Homo-oligomer: A and B are copies of this chain.
Amino acid sequence: MELWYTEKHTNTVNFSIQVKRHFYSESSPFQQIDFFESKEFGTFFTLDGLMMVNEKDEFVYHDMITHVPMATHPDIKRVLVIGGGDGGTVRELTRYKHIEKIDMVEIDEMVVRACQKYLPITANQLTDPRVTLYFEDGLKFIQGKVAEYDLILVDSTDPIGPGEGLFSMAFYTDCFKALTETGILINQHESPYYPNYAREMKRSHDKIKKIFPISKVYQFHMPTYPSGHWLFGFASKSLDPIKDFKKEKWEAFGLETKYYNTDLHTGCFALPTFVKKLLEE
């Protein structure tokens, strides 16, 4: 018998992974959660049938969401992670000894508990004493907060289902208020290639650039996401990821990384012309 997991990247494009077993399948109050074991990607899980995290390429996403802002502003001490139930973003943050406080707000506790059980490669630092887990709606959590965080990482699903509000004008405005004067917001920024994703990329960027004086986009290779061409948004009140890049200071941390490095820090902001045009439209 062969068992295949298939994800529709578009209505007429499928990506399929042969799985050894489908060992977890639960409906939380928010979404459908499934865990699989595969030869090529190791353990992976999906939310509402979309690939979230797998053991083979999670390092790409988690390196890029974390180290780009940390190398722009190496003095970050208070961090808010919204979403990120797999724990991989928190894992990378905990590698910085000088970070004092990491609040993680994940709406779906079942995702976190399942990842702690089945995906320790990403979830293994959620018990770090600097980490506080809040199982609530990030939209509500952030309301009314003023200058509490140096960095907000929005590690969300696509803007359909529980992640939808995390792509709204109201949410980005609340993030702006919750950040300190040198604060940085990184958000999951979808992809430029397939039209459905490109539309969300543009919508997100259009909103953020109205609120933040500095708003850039950077890219990386994420083979298991649709098209493999994926983006994060970098927004800040005052810091530019290239002009304010603290290369030597970041290198002095001595962190070993598998994807991120200081050449790539600059390189990843160099976008193809068609992406720049889509973002400027």
A267 interface residue per 8 A CB criterion = yes
Q: Is A4 touching B10 in the complex (CB atoms < 8 A)? A: no
CA distance A107 to B15 in the complex (A): 32
Q: Hey, which chain B residues are within 8 Å of A270, CB to CB?
A: 261, 263-264, 266-268
Q: Which residues of A does B touch, CB under 8 Å?
A: 4, 10-18, 38-40, 57, 59-60, 193-194, 219-221, 223, 227-229, 257-261, 263-264, 266-274, 276
Q: Hey, which chain B residues are within 8 Å of A40, CB to CB?
A: 10, 12-13, 194
- Copies of chain A in the complex: 2
Chain B min CB distance to A222 (Å): 8
CA distance A40 to B266 in the complex (A): 32
The 5 closest A-B CB pairs, nearest first, are A228-B228, A267-B270, A12-B18, A267-B267, A223-B227
CA distance A272 to B257 in the complex (A): 9
Contact of A4 among B14, B38, B266, B274 (CB under 8 A): B14
Chain B min CB distance to A266 (Å): 7
Contact of A13 among B11, B16, B257, B269 (CB under 8 A): B16
Q: Hey, which chain B residues are within 8 Å of A194, CB to CB?
A: 40
CA distance A93 to B11 in the complex (A): 35
- Kindly report which residue of chain B lies nearest to residue A15, judged by CB atoms: B15
CA distance A61 to B203 in the complex (A): 28
Q: Hey, which chain B residues are within 8 Å of A267, CB to CB?
A: 266-270
Q: Is B272 touching A221 in the complex (CB atoms < 8 A)? A: yes
